[in-house]
Structure 1
Amino acid sequence: MLTYASGRTWVIADCSHSRLIVAEAGVRRLALFGETSIDAGRLACLLARHDDVVGLMAAAHEISGSFHILYADGRSTHVQGSASGLRQVFYARCRDGSYAASDSVEPLARLGGATPRIEMAAWGMLHPGFDYGLTHGTYWHGVHRLPADRRLRMTADRAELTTWWRPPAPALSVADGAPGVRAALEEAVAVRRATAGGLSADLSGGMDSTSLCFLLAGQGARFPCFVERTVDPNHDDAHWAAIAAREIDRQLTVLGPEDVPGPYDGIWEPGRGLVEDVPYGLGEPYTLIRNRARKTAMAKIFAATGSDTHIGGFGGDELFTVAPSHFADLSAHAPLAAVLGIRDLARLRRWSMPSVLRALARRQTYQGWFEEQLRSVHLPRPDLLGPGLNWGPQVRVPPWSTPAGVDAVRAVATAADAGRTPQAGTRSVHTSVAGHRIGGQRLGPLRALMEHHGITLSLPYMDDAVLEAALSVSRAEALPGTGFKPVLKAAMRVGAPPDSRAGALSRSTKGEFSMSVHRGLARNRRPLLGLFEDSLLAEHGLVDIDRLRAGLRDTMRPEYETNALETTVAAEVWMRAVAQAPAPAPERPLTHRRLASPC
């Protein structure tokens, strides 16, 4: 617990999985909460050097790691999360009129006596989800999500938001940018080495996790590695992970389908209802819910090795895979270069050139794209998707959504807390930043689940320094279809001998998990049908229960249907968990509430 100079409470923090470092100078207070290796003495020097909020917060942001920044100057409190979206900030007005902020929705919902926003359940079922930034709301009335690029200033009776972060100019060549990416990753890994009691790491054999394991090993860290072997005989993660483990001389554990639960195991059981071996969070649906039981089991396995910090490669895809929309950006000022550049990718994706030319010719603004998505969100998803050159993918409600569900989505998208601005000025950079922030948001419940079993899920690719270094490289230098993550490959070759280009880091394939998902659906068809027996989503008119149950009984072949099912299961489970929980309690039972209006 930290206090103001007056002795009143300022910050209450659970430090089980995060460091809380504080410095004081008179009435001024500066605190970092999260993953950082800085000590209180260095933080005090930083506080002494800066007497203005902007300069101090900017200097604190330059510190390596991933953390929240909190500052009090005797008049107000300033709170800042991470630009990556991993360190989220929520805020709400309490019953006494004052404001409070948290990295979790639930305590704010309790403080404010909040009630659930039922229409957000429809919003959460969208797949792919609407873009990051289109709503600053949460699943609870009166609790707001701070956009990742904003800073919150709270006084006794006011809450103000200011922009503190913008993407760096993507101006460096791969050769010039790779050393900066390498340095940022080295620093990120060093923070984990310095602060973890025990380390473990994912080693899927893919570029992202393999690179982190190489860096950890290069710094002398000893740690066990883990890879999952799927039921798909063509899935080659375990093969490449074994190669990587030999190259870095670290122990590799292969977790087979029989070693851990599979997709949709352990969510609902006849006669028992929701399986609550791990408490369900009430803040928002756990959109990665189909692997909940597996991640719970894996967290226990990691902890049994003595690890309290598990390194994961989440975020690498968004940083180092350039979206095809780069060619639409290029077409605005160099149309011939865009056409010539996209030809190989069009052949690979089987896009017809007429459709590509039409997509390149569109000069659609972000606002125009948003309005178009909103108008067509109710339409059936086309069997064949055209060139993905826009601000985001086509957004559709699930095939079992109702007209009321569509209305709820549109209500959220047009509410007062809905945003209308892109995350960057160009489509391809916007896609990277938005994808990173969507990932940071969706990973919150997974990180909470693993913390329940003593494991911090640590994600170096979501450190702001890594994000900024990767975004500084020109999109034109890492074109889609011309190589597999060339910026990350170049970064890993910095200072390495020429013969290191072979081996695990030369992999250009990516594992695919649909066979495991379909196997899990087949094995859990009865429990899933049981989950929707007395569906709260259906009771509130958001899903056509007959159509949903018919889809569950069928093979559900298209990928978008299996993904939409996961978000639907997550929404149903969230509603049930809220209805059963004693706090934060709705004013009326959730099962007796109708579709709520946006706050």
Structure 2
Amino acid sequence: MSSSVGGRWFVVFPDHEAASAVFDRIRNTGCQVVRHASGRPWLAGCWDGSAARLAETGDVRLAVLGVSTLDTGQLRVRARAVRTTSDVETAVQGSAGDHFLLASVAGRVYARGTASGSRRLYRAEVDGVTVVADRARTLARFTGAAVDLRHVAARLVSVATPPFPLDQASLFEGVRAVPPGQAVLLERAGEATERRWWRPPESELPLAEGAEGLREALRAAVRARVAPGQRWAADLSGGMDSTSLCFLAAEAGAELVTLTLDPGAPGDEDLAYARRAAAGLPAGTPHLVFDAADLPSYYTGPEGGLGGGEPEDEPTLGIRDRAQQEHLVGVAHAHGVTRRLCGQGGDQLVIPPPSHLHDLVRREPRLATRHLAAYAAKQRWPRAATVRALADRRPFRAWLAAEAGHITGDRGPAGDVQLGWGLAMSLPHWATDRARESTAELLREAAARTEPLADTRGRHLWLYMARQAGRVALLYDRLGIALDMPFCDDAVLEACLRVRPHEATTPWAYKPLLATAMRGIVPEPLLQRTTKGNATPEWHRGMRAHRRGLAAWLEDSRLVAAGLAEPRALARAWLSPGTLPAHEGPPAEASVALESWLRALERHPVPRYLEEHTHEHEHATES
């Protein structure tokens, strides 16, 4: 979904007179407007008409923005059955895709994103009424909100996997992120509430039955995007996730152009597996291989400099390979392709985290003991630490409070045995005492009020990892890289969660759930891969290539100025990353992303998409 003017965005207004004044602020920046039955503005912004289904009947307005198997006519028919906001979900029941669902029913507003977080909503009080938007920066612009430096400090733990529940927080003061799985209701009087619209299914299906459900969910997710005869680009990394999507797209009749990035890392088998997969696709399918050494290095920005570009709602690791991705987009366009399939999300969804063993040992101790012994040998878990982790029966809030204590202490590497409620947390040695205290304070506040995503550790962490996949899908979409990530569709998430975790993954097989699901679609040798490549060498090359730019940043670092990073230690991390212990590589990468984001916000205080432009039209919904 994109717009020719500044990118996709929207704002949802309550049916309240005060909201009309808020709408006036963006009257000249939105391409499209849809109104409540009262005539007041309900939905305004810019979106691609081909990715929008809008319907009106009586005092009901429905909008489905994103990927959906529903067409406008079907949505219009379903809208006739909507009487209250409690009926809105029935309008999209049974459809596949990845989309926002928005409604105005007799002036009451219902709005939600996705369960995976691949579509997000934010809310803020503006001029006395609550307004909802798909971008935090939109609401920050309305309210003049400053960056919340406490949450910036917390992202020093990780940008890729910030600790729950801080991972879903807005980084702007006064702007609230709506948690995935929750919908916002705006009343005509202007007040707002949140209501759960999605609950995860029980994990009770055996592997064979669950794999059948995953196969059909993935097949539907691909076909929601791909039509016979359409030309699509598709990542073909050599991994099982992207390979599966390529064969499903070919099955759906797409004309593919496959793209493989060869990182050139010693021992990396990605290219060999990608070539085997390409040989199994329909004859004549172009397979384009890119040597990473011939592409722009990590962190290359505009004019070959470091970073740059419009900031997103939060810092993202997507800045590291943005120039590479833009190069691939250009090549795809030259082959007549504008959309591209990507396997992002597969790792997080089809592989339950090892913490499911903490749950299993209490239900089926004999089976759990076999799995634990194999995992401990494979992951080199120390025996004493494994026993302690299994004996730990603290509830989530107690565990989180303890992690807050570790943040201000000196634990060193973040945990060896992965059987807790989350990924163990630590801050890098360049984090200041202020950064540690700020992060610990946020965690203590969360420990006092936050419930886990599920009652058991393994299920909670599985849901958490799925949300991280959704965050990445969202951020790449916002970067303007036209990537479709079917693994992040809610129906795919649900299909994975229905499978017994100790069967969905085992220490003796790699991705058994996906391999079983794709049997008969993907050639068998490709389903037997047990290795996975990594991009660590590319990151080090990128840091070396932009050493001069990083040194310039250090002279007036925003992280240092905010009191979050110690300058000498940060300089060593950026200018000599090869000397860092392995566990501090991700925090070093996080600090570059944070610095880049803070600088970008200074350069672009007004989001480009909110710059005034010619107003295209008020959209009349189909009735």
Kindly provide the CA deviation profile for residues 234-275 of structure 1, in whole angstroms up to 9, marking residues without a partner as x: 211111111101101321111112332122333897xx7x65
Partner Cα distance (1:547, 1:126) in 2: 16
* Structure 1 range deviating more: 42-51 or 416-425: 416-425
Query: Residue 565 of structure 2 aligns with which residue?
Result: 543
Q: Paired residue for 1:593? A: none
Deviation (angstroms), 1:430: 1.6
Equivalent residues, number: 571
- Residue 414 (structure 1) shift: 4.4
Q: Are the counterparts in 2 of residues 323 and 428 from structure 1 also a CA contact under 8 Å?
A: yes
Q: 1:552 to 1:137 in 2, by over 3 A?
A: closer
Give the match's secondary structure for 2:320: helix
Residue 242 of structure 1 is aligned with which of 275, 295, 305? 275
Hey, what's the Cα distance between the residues in 2 that align with 1:419 and 1:507? 43
- 1:110 aligns to what SS in structure 2? helix
Q: Which residue of 2 aligns with 1:368?
A: 398
Partner of 1:464: 490
Distance 1:55 1:74, change over 3 A: closer
Mapped contact 1:360–1:389 kept (Cα < 8 A):
yes
SS of the equivalent of 2:226 reads helix
**CA separation of 1:362 and 1:229: change in aligned 2, threshold 3 A:** same
1:119 corresponds in structure 2 to 150
Instruction: Give 1:591's aligned residue.
Output: none
The CA deviation string for residues 260-310 of structure 1, in whole angstroms up to 9 with x for no partner, is 2122333897xx7x654xx32252222332223222322322333222221
**Of residues 497, 505, 511 in structure 1, which corresponds to 2:533?**
511
What displacement does 1:176 show? 1.2
Structure 1 residues 442 and 501, CA gap change in structure 2 (3 angstroms): closer
Q: Tell me the amino acid that sits aligned with residue 525 of structure 2.
A: G
Instruction: State the shift of 1:418 in Å.
Output: 8.7
Residue aligning to 2:290: 255
CA offset digits 1:63-116 (Å, max 9, x no partner): 11000000111231110110011011111111x212211111121111222222
Counterparts of 1:134 and 1:490, CA distance in 2: 35
How far apart, in 1, do the equivalents of 2:459 and 2:297 lie? 35
Rounded to whole Å, the distance in 1 between the matches of 2:225 and 2:607 is 34
The whole-number CA distance in structure 2 between the counterparts of 1:4 and 1:322 is 43
Q: For 1:295 and 1:282, how far apart are their aligned partners in 2?
A: 17
1:581 corresponds to which letter in structure 2? H
Distance 1:176 1:19 in 2: 33
Greater shift in the superposed pair: 362-371 or 346-355:
346-355
Note if 1:191 corresponds to 2:224: yes
**2:602 paired with 1:567:** no
Which residue matches 2:363?
A: 333
Q: Deviations over 1:336-359 (max 9, x none)?
A: 432232111111111233322221
Aligned equivalents of 1:111, 1:103: Cα separation in 2: 13
Deviations 1:148-195 (A, max 9, x none): 011100124211011121110011111111221111111111011149
Contact 1:136–1:144 under 8 Å retained in 2 = no
Where does residue 34 of structure 2 map in the other structure? 2
Structure 1: gaps spanning 5 or more residues:
586-599
- Tell me, yes or no, if the aligned pair for 2:239 and 2:273 is still in contact at 8 Å: yes
Using a 3 Å threshold, how does the CA distance of structure 1 residues 282 and 520 change in structure 2: closer, same or farther?
Answer: closer
Aligned-partner SS, 1:148: coil
Q: C-alpha distance in 2, partners of 1:132/1:242?
A: 39
1:170 alignment counterpart:
203
Q: Amino acid of the residue matched to residue 561 of structure 1?
A: E
Measured on the aligned residues, the alpha-carbon RMSD in Å equals: 2.4
The 1:405/1:478 distance shift into structure 2, 3 A limit, reads same
SS at structure 2 position matched to 1:12: strand
Q: Read off the aligned partner of 2:575 and give its amino acid letter.
A: R
CA distance in 1, matches of 2:371, 2:169: 40
Equivalent residue letter for 1:489: A
Rounded Cα–Cα distance in structure 2 between residues aligned with 1:409 and 1:383: 17
Tell me, yes or no, if structure 1 residue 222 matches structure 2 residue 255.
yes
Q: Which residue of 2 aligns with 1:102?
A: 133
Q: Which amino acid aligns with 2:526?
A: A
Structure-2 separation of matches of 1:59 and 1:477: 34
Change (3 A) 1:17 1:415: farther
Shift of 1:58: 4.5
1:597 paired residue number? none
Aligned to 2:515: 489
Query: What corresponds to 1:89 in structure 2?
Result: 121
Q: CA deviation at 1:573?
A: 1.4
Counterpart Cα distance in 2 of 1:310 and 1:377:
40
Note the C-alpha offset of 1:61.
Answer: 4.8
Distance in 2, matches of 1:375 and 1:303, equals: 51
Aligned 8 A contact 2:401 2:444 in 1? no
- After superposition, the Cα gap between the structure-2 partners of 1:235 and 1:322, relative to the gap in structure 1 and judged at 3 Å, is same
TM-score where L is the length of structure 1: 0.90
Structure 2 counterpart of 1:79, from 108, 111, 117: 111
CA distance in 2, matches of 1:10, 1:259: 48
Aligned positions of 1:297-336 closer than 5 A = 297-336=327-366
Deviation of 1:416 after TM superposition, in Å, equals 7.9
Q: Distance between the aligned counterparts of 2:447 and 2:42, measured in 1?
A: 27
- The 8 Å contact of residues 196 and 308 in structure 1, kept in 2 or not, is answered as no
Residue of structure 2 equivalent to 1:532? 554
- Against the structure 1 CA distance between its residues 268 and 140, is the aligned structure 2 distance closer, same or farther, given a 3 Å change threshold? farther
Contact 2:230–2:254 (CA under 8 A) maintained in structure 1:
no
Residues of 2 paired with 1:286 and 1:478: CA distance? 29
Deviation at 1:210, TM superposition (A): 0.3
Q: C-alpha displacement at 1:447, in angstroms?
A: 1.6
Counterpart amino acid of 1:89?
L
Render the CA deviation track for 1:3-50: whole Å, top value 9, x for unaligned: 112222211242238611011111111110001131111111212234
Aligned to 1:596: none
Change (3 A) 1:410 1:484: same
C-alpha distance in 2 between matches for 1:281 and 1:198: 31
Measured against aligned partners, the alpha-carbon deviations of 1:98-140 in whole angstroms (never above 9, x if no partner) come to: 2211111121111222222222221222127443334653121
Whether 1:480 aligns to 2:479 is no
What's the CA shift string for 1:419-448, capped at 9, x where partnerless?
612122222222221111123224433222
> In structure 2, what is the equivalent of residue 264 of structure 1?
299
Q: Percent identity?
A: 32
- In the alignment, which of 414, 425, 435 is matched to residue 455 of structure 2? 425
Offset from partner CA, 1:202-231 (integer Å, 9 cap, x none) = 111111000010101111110101111113
Distance change (3 Å), C-alpha of 1:415 and 1:113: farther
Change (3 A) 1:328 1:18: farther
C-alpha contact (below 8 Å) 1:68/1:82 kept by paired residues: yes
Q: Deviations over 1:525-566 (max 9, x none)?
A: 222122221011111111001111022333234333221112
Q: C-alpha displacement at 1:490, in angstroms?
A: 1.1
Say which SS state the counterpart of residue 394 (structure 1) adopts: coil
Gaps of 5+ in 2: 1-32, 609-623
CA separation of 1:61 and 1:46: change in aligned 2, threshold 3 A: same
Alignment CA distance shift 1:102-1:84 (3 Å): same
AA aligned opposite 1:331: V
* 1:153 maps to which of 167, 185, 188: 185
Contact residue 307 and residue 319 of structure 2 kept, 8 A: no
For 1:27, the aligned partner's letter is D
Counterpart pick for 2:52 among 20, 36, 39: 20
AA aligned opposite 1:507: R
Assess, with a 3 A threshold, how the Cα gap between structure 1 residues 414 and 74 changes in structure 2: closer, same or farther: farther
